[in-house]
Amino acid sequence: MANPRLRGWRKWAKKDWAIAAVGFTIILFALTLLFDSRNPTSSSSSSTFNLPSNHHLIPLTLLHRAKATGAFCLDGSLPGYHFQEGFGSGSNNWLLHIEGGGWCNSIETCEIRKRTALGSSKYMDRLIPFDGILSHQSSQNPDFYNWNIVKMRYCDGASLAGHPESEFKNGTKLFFRGQLIWEAIMSELLSLGLSKAKQALLTGCSAGGLATLIHCDDFRAHLPKDATVKCLADAGFFLDEPDILGNRTMSNFYHDVVQLQGVAKSLHEECITEMEPSKCIFPQQIIENIRTPLFIVNPAYDFWQIQHILVPAGSDPDGYWRRCRLSIQKCDSTQIENLQGFRSSLLKALSKLQHDKEGGMFINSCFVHCQTWTAETWHSSNSPRINNKTIAESVGDWYFNRKVTKEIDCPYPCNPTCYHMDFTQPS
């Protein structure tokens, strides 16, 4: 199933596609437009979109107390979050969502990033809608709609895991304070009532999904022992796989991120004593040490991973993969065979979670990326389904122990409910 809402924005998205280090900025923005735009025929590249009259916009709160601990975005501005208070039976329950947006792996890419909303609160939207898992509408978010809901903005470029000891290389003023940002926002939310939570869920999309995995047990440690606390990573299970030429493109990229921002200090000590620290940022290694119940939402054919891990642009000089990497529906039989191998690698990396009685997963066969933060993919009449259940229904069954939920879709192209992104269509 292709969503026509993207068509007005494809030209813009393709133009900036090659900026891999900051590419998540573009991809997430394009996806926001895809699902949030109420004008599918527009060809403007503006971020403005129409909202129904009952759609509430949630204001940005800047973390002024962060000055005391030095918890700053890449450019030195204050970090922030959006908060919508819970009500009724959800008044003592909390859902925290960490925004995604890739990473910067060099002084140059961090310099670019600090001039965007993913590196500075100066550029963040002051009002944003809450959809999907963040929604306060029961029809869109049946199990968590009345909880206290927080969206943590992402502005450090290292999945909230950078450390200041690695700053000011080559005389460039950049703030690597992701770990401090995490701690400062948690401190503020604990003072607002999170410390008394009865139920809590930490979640995040993409690089925010990776941040969820990194901080999952720390989140659990801050909350009451008798509280139900779990974690959900959406499109954050990045694979340590070679590309089609056999190069370790993603491994090399993560090595640069970990070295640049001192990320090793935020990773599991058991792992970094056994192997090279940058290996320990891959989710397959992280889940070996997570003790908190965990749910993974991931498409088996995650388009970002296909375009940047399996077939990065530099690995396809002759353009054989050009159309396939932009639309799974344009792949030939040989390319599909390669994609099925990538799917097999994902399932193998998830084998520990498959045997974890407290774990859960929803691995569908869609060519998409994040799926929890938009109504169309989280829970609607047209949402992707496995065994006739939406992602929201599957996550709810797992969180509230209604049913063991380990949903693994059949291989592409078997699922007619999928949204398949297609970046080859003309604008």
- pLDDT tens, residue by residue, 296-349: 999 999 999 999 999 998 999 999 999 999 999 999 999 999 999 999 999 999
d(CA 301, CA 299): 5
Kindly name the residue from 163, 369, 379, 420 that is annotated as catalytic.
369
Name which of 56, 141, 37 is nearest 373 in CA terms. 141
Kindly name the residue from 37, 120, 166, 206 that is annotated as catalytic.
206
pLDDT in tens, 355-385: 999 999 999 999 999 999 999 999 999 999 9
Phi, psi of 70 (to 5 degrees): 75, 30
Please give the order of strands across the beta sheet that includes 57-62: 127-129, 57-62, 80-84, 148-152, 93-98, 199-205, 228-234, 294-299, 360-364, 406-408
Give the pLDDT score at 166.
81
Q: Any catalytic annotation for residue 302?
A: yes
Kindly list the distances between the CA atom of residue 248 and the CA atoms of 239, 242, 338, 349, in Å, as whole numbers in the listed order: 11, 5, 16, 17
Kindly name the residue from 36, 131, 240, 302 that is annotated as catalytic.
302
Pairing relationship of beta strands 360-364 and 199-205 according to DSSP bridges = unpaired
Domains of the chain, residue spans: 56-408
Q: Are 95 and 201 in contact (CB under 8 A)?
A: yes
Q: 56-408: which CATH topology?
A: Rossmann fold (3.40.50)
pLDDT above 80 for 386: yes
Q: How much of the chain exceeds pLDDT 70, in percent?
A: 86
pLDDT in tens, 144-154: 999 999 999 99
pLDDT in tens, 270-292: 999 999 999 999 999 999 999 99
Q: Any catalytic annotation for residue 143?
A: no
Q: Any catalytic annotation for residue 218?
A: no
